[in-house]
Structure 1
Amino acid sequence: MSTLKIFAPFDQSLIKEIPLADSQQMQTAIDQAHELFLDPSQWLPKYKRVEILEKIAILMAERSEEIIRTSTQEGGKPWMDTEVEMTRAINGVKLAIENMGHLKGEEVAMGHTASSANRMAYTMREPIGVVASVSAFNHPINLIIHQTIPAIAVGSPVIIKPAPTTPLTCLLLVELFEAAGLPKGWCTAMPCNNDVAELLVTSPKVNFFSFIGSAKVGWYLRSKLAPGTRCALEHGGAAPVIIEPDADLSSMIPALVKGGFYHAGQVCVSVQRIYVHESITDQVIEEMESQVESLKSGDPLNKDTEVGPLILPKEVDRVHEWVEEAKANGATIICGGKKISDTFYAPTLLLNPSEDSKVSSQEIFGPVVCLYTYSNRDQAIAKANSLAYAFQASIFTKNIDIALDTVKKLNATAVMVNDHTAFRVDWMPFGGRDASGLGLGSIPHSMHDMTREKLMVIKSSIL
């Protein structure tokens, strides 16, 4: 039997070794989920799903410290931020319950032609079928909730493959789901290698595929889906921010520092590219440098740590290589720019890296933020829009007309006005466009995607 060793990103200590599912076990899980869906007599009625979800929310709250500790230890996100993630995850379950009553059909008018006389018609929404979810490491609690709870809420069986670096949180949550009364087979966690995961993705018994991870992997897996399998893909971005001369720096700088260095920049909508008007560049640099250098890096289990480790030592090496490349191509290192250890990279600010440097043209996914000066806002917007990635963006200004004009021109799924790019609540549309993804991943959007519409037409002579 193959096994997986899970190491703490902080010090690379071994946390646990767990078994990996093989192809036969994966096929059994797929078959079981498919059989549950094919037999409507086994479907969980809505009131029962509500009861289970309510119990899940209660158990998550009761066991929150255990879940936070597990997630922090295996994922490396600081305790203070994982606490926030835990609260969001519990609210996500409650949000699913609230939205169950909003999934409904409507009357389709009949009788206004002779051919449609003596008929009435209504649509209804049914569970889509088996959901396959492939998750990422950076939010081990909330991403699992987003990729399983909507399916459970609408009555679709779901199989979840956690990230290989953070499977323990997923296993703990699925154990908790079953403790809340969810019958086996309705949510199955399957830690496995990529070959076995591809079996899940390509199965014709899977009706919906949910993926969170890199664009390269996501688009590849989409190409392997069976005919008719729908999907939602959430990839990364290289979030741009535009700062106008009238921006309120006192509130803006802390927001940008948080948005850029939260979870060591390992967030798909982290602040990455900041375009600063040349008239205030020196002031922005001075204030950002001061706040970035004061960030406390350390053990994520310490409740005052603000920046934790990167998920793997090779990611530290990669980030450093990118920074060195930018430096060689003319970028100025304002602060950071060095390894703290094999697992930590210093929070880094770069000034005016070249447009073709990797830090400017690809998603950094590390604690590095780039600043660029501009004199013409339209030129800054053009540079912000120059990449294939388009997810979330920001504009800081007190001028409503400039804000609205910038929102209109930026290529992004969401544009924040006077807030950082990583802002999110779980009921808002959230997802990338262009190379950054397909579909939207909020709780309500996912619930809608995990159902499909059926039309019923009734013919009667008395109508």
Structure 2
Amino acid sequence: MSSITVRNPFDLSTVGEVPLMSEAEAFAALERAHALHGDPAHRIPAHERLAILERLATLMRTHAEALVRDAVREGGKPWADSVVEVERAIDGVRWAARELAQLGGREVPMGLTPASAGRLAFTVREPRGVVLAISAFNHPVNLIVHQAVPAFAAGCPVLVKPASATPLSCRNVLRLMHEAGVPEAWATMLPCAAATAEKLVADPRVAFLSFIGSSRVGWHLRSKLAPGATCALEHGGAAPVVLDASADLDAALPLLLKGGFYHAGQVCVSVQRVFAPHETARTFAERLAAAAAQLPTGDPMRHDTAVGPLIDPREVSRVHEWVEEARAGGGTVLCGGAPLSETLYSPTVVYDPPQGCRLARNEVFGPVVAVFSTRDRDEAIARANDVPFIFQAAVFARDVDVALDTARRLNATGVMVNDHTAFRVDWMPFGGRGESGMGTGGIGPAMHEMTTEKLIVLRSPAWA
């Protein structure tokens, strides 16, 4: 295979071809990036990086519609949601510029002992080195911004391997970076084979790995890193929601509808498991199902489509297998529960699937929400925590003490109170623990992780 054929996940038509980079070409790009980092003469001053980021944001605004169009055609996220994604990506570039202006060191106190007298100590932040970013398909514009832009802003050359399903958006973003003034060797797309990417990960010239994808692949790649290299891994989870007896269910319903079925559930923090008191669980599940059944599902290019295709027909078959397993175990399918076509799966709500089924324990990554009946809040929290994933969770409660207590007890890196699990703004820290990953995403946190702290101690009698 000499190129990647990019297909529209809705109708499977060909929308583009991207040349496949050979292993030799990929390692040549790594050597160029490594040489840039090692030569002070090629470093780009902060003020120039700031100017480039400002131009990039302007260029992305100018080309926003084209960015949206290609993202929809190759990734299948509905048009309206892709418009929001591109807006977020533009804001992310601007936020990187703001973070760069704040990226600095700190004073380390001296003179606290006789031995430390006469010294001034402070730290500065320096780029770690070459960043290798391996990306995912589900946010094809914004994920590239979240991986490549912080690297450049922090002063690190970056190599980006896009998801094989969505390389066009990556190419679009990097071309705009180059047009804005980023030298091509500082931000290079690597549309290479998985085996080549794995060899790159193990190369000692890679200082930082940014990986978004499956847990199995992420932890495997981490094991291949050279000594001294660091990483940030984002693997997703099976996001839980606890509905307290005091919750405003009318307010919760549209939020959980959006959080569960946005991008056909192909989001790492999609609402998947809702735990509700047994007095209201079935009624709430039926209301959610009635709303889900009305979601416009189909061609993502239509501006009124709410739920588009899954990224690959094999995913439609897999999701249906999980739903059938939940049904066979005693779960009640209240809506959906069947493929609509080779590429579309109907928005589905399952009531009380068995705790041991995959839908109850693993990330479905499809348009399926499970609602569970629980005796009390303690049981809801225990069942929410009874998975190996630690990512974002949510609680709905009008009682503030209950909300805070639940937020404290939920095993999560982020808890949304009276909001869905998929809420995110680009300056907040974002990432998982356990099987969900390690390290912290978000524009500012990523820039911090892509730099390292150097201590400088100045000894001078004038400072005594």
CA displacement, residues 212-265 of structure 1 (integer Å, 9 cap, x when unaligned):
011111000000000000100011100001112222122210100100000000
- Trace 1:170-181 onto structure 2 (pairs within 5 A): 170-181=170-181
Residues 290 and 335 of structure 2 are in contact (CA less than 8 Å); yes or no, is this contact kept in structure 1?
no
Residues 26 and 199 of structure 1 are in contact (CA less than 8 Å); yes or no, is this contact kept in structure 2?
no
- Name 1:406's counterpart in structure 2: 406
User: Aligned residues: percent identity?
Assistant: 52
- Name 1:228's counterpart in structure 2: 228
Residues 111 and 117 of structure 2 are in contact (CA less than 8 Å); yes or no, is this contact kept in structure 1?
yes
Residues 240 and 274 of structure 2 are in contact (CA less than 8 Å); yes or no, is this contact kept in structure 1?
yes
CA displacement, residues 255-291 of structure 1 (integer Å, 9 cap, x when unaligned):
0010000000000000000011111123312321221
Q: Does 1:160 align with 2:171?
A: no
- Name 1:448's counterpart in structure 2: 448
CA distance in 2 between partners of 1:340 and 1:184 (Å): 44
* CA drift at 1:114: 3.3
- Trace 1:37-116 onto structure 2 (pairs within 5 A): 37-116=37-116
CA distance in 2 between partners of 1:269 and 1:159 (Å): 26
Residues 235 and 437 of structure 1 are in contact (CA less than 8 Å); yes or no, is this contact kept in structure 2?
yes
Deviates more, 1:87-96 or 1:194-203: 194-203
CA displacement, residues 31-55 of structure 1 (integer Å, 9 cap, x when unaligned):
0000000011110001100010000
- Name 1:267's counterpart in structure 2: 267
CA distance in 2 between partners of 1:313 and 1:298 (Å): 14
- Name 2:343's counterpart in structure 1: 343
CA displacement, residues 141-199 of structure 1 (integer Å, 9 cap, x when unaligned):
11000001101111110001000000000011101100111112111011111011112
Residues 299 and 308 of structure 1 are in contact (CA less than 8 Å); yes or no, is this contact kept in structure 2?
yes
Please give the TM-score of this superposition, normalised by the length of structure 2.
Answer: 0.98
CA distance in 2 between partners of 1:158 and 1:237 (Å): 27
CA displacement, residues 126-154 of structure 1 (integer Å, 9 cap, x when unaligned):
11110010000000011000001101111
Q: Does 1:378 align with 2:378?
A: yes
CA distance in 2 between partners of 1:170 and 1:7 (Å): 15
- Name 1:419's counterpart in structure 2: 419
- Name 2:240's counterpart in structure 1: 240
- Name 1:217's counterpart in structure 2: 217
CA distance in 2 between partners of 1:221 and 1:353 (Å): 34
CA distance in 1 between partners of 2:223 and 2:152 (Å): 26
* CA drift at 1:332: 0.6
* CA drift at 1:115: 2.8
Structure 2: which 5+ runs fail to align?
Answer: none
Q: 2:359 aligns to what SS in structure 1?
A: helix
Residues 286 and 334 of structure 2 are in contact (CA less than 8 Å); yes or no, is this contact kept in structure 1?
no
Residues 310 and 366 of structure 2 are in contact (CA less than 8 Å); yes or no, is this contact kept in structure 1?
yes
* CA drift at 1:294: 0.5
CA displacement, residues 294-314 of structure 1 (integer Å, 9 cap, x when unaligned):
100011011100000000000
CA change 1:282–1:117 in 2 (3 A) is closer
The residue type paired with residue 332 of structure 1 is T
CA distance in 2 between partners of 1:272 and 1:334 (Å): 15
Deviates more, 1:60-69 or 1:427-436: 427-436
CA distance in 1 between partners of 2:14 and 2:53 (Å): 33
Q: Does 1:458 align with 2:458?
A: yes
CA displacement, residues 344-400 of structure 1 (integer Å, 9 cap, x when unaligned):
000000011111111111100000000110121101110000000111111111111
Residues 122 and 457 of structure 2 are in contact (CA less than 8 Å); yes or no, is this contact kept in structure 1?
yes
- Name 1:35's counterpart in structure 2: 35
CA displacement, residues 63-112 of structure 1 (integer Å, 9 cap, x when unaligned):
00000000000000000000000110000001111111221112222233
Q: 2:252 aligns to what SS in structure 1?
A: helix
CA distance in 2 between partners of 1:458 and 1:373 (Å): 64
- Name 1:314's counterpart in structure 2: 314
The residue type paired with residue 244 of structure 2 is E
The residue type paired with residue 416 of structure 1 is M
CA distance in 2 between partners of 1:245 and 1:110 (Å): 55
Deviates more, 1:94-103 or 1:162-171: 94-103
Equivalent pairs counted in the alignment come to: 463
CA distance in 1 between partners of 2:28 and 2:431 (Å): 32
Deviates more, 1:17-26 or 1:51-60: 17-26
The residue type paired with residue 139 of structure 2 is H
CA distance in 1 between partners of 2:328 and 2:291 (Å): 26
The residue type paired with residue 226 of structure 2 is A
Q: 2:102 aligns to what SS in structure 1?
A: coil
- State the Cα RMSD in Å: 1.0
Q: 1:370 aligns to what SS in structure 2?
A: strand
Q: Does 1:250 align with 2:257?
A: no
CA distance in 1 between partners of 2:163 and 2:14 (Å): 17
CA distance in 1 between partners of 2:324 and 2:453 (Å): 53
Q: 1:309 aligns to what SS in structure 2?
A: coil
* CA drift at 1:331: 0.8
The residue type paired with residue 442 of structure 1 is G
- Name 1:299's counterpart in structure 2: 299
CA distance in 2 between partners of 1:462 and 1:449 (Å): 35
The residue type paired with residue 456 of structure 1 is I
- Name 2:182's counterpart in structure 1: 182
CA distance in 2 between partners of 1:306 and 1:111 (Å): 62
Please give the TM-score of this superposition, normalised by the length of structure 1.
Answer: 0.99
CA distance in 2 between partners of 1:288 and 1:113 (Å): 65
CA distance in 1 between partners of 2:209 and 2:199 (Å): 12
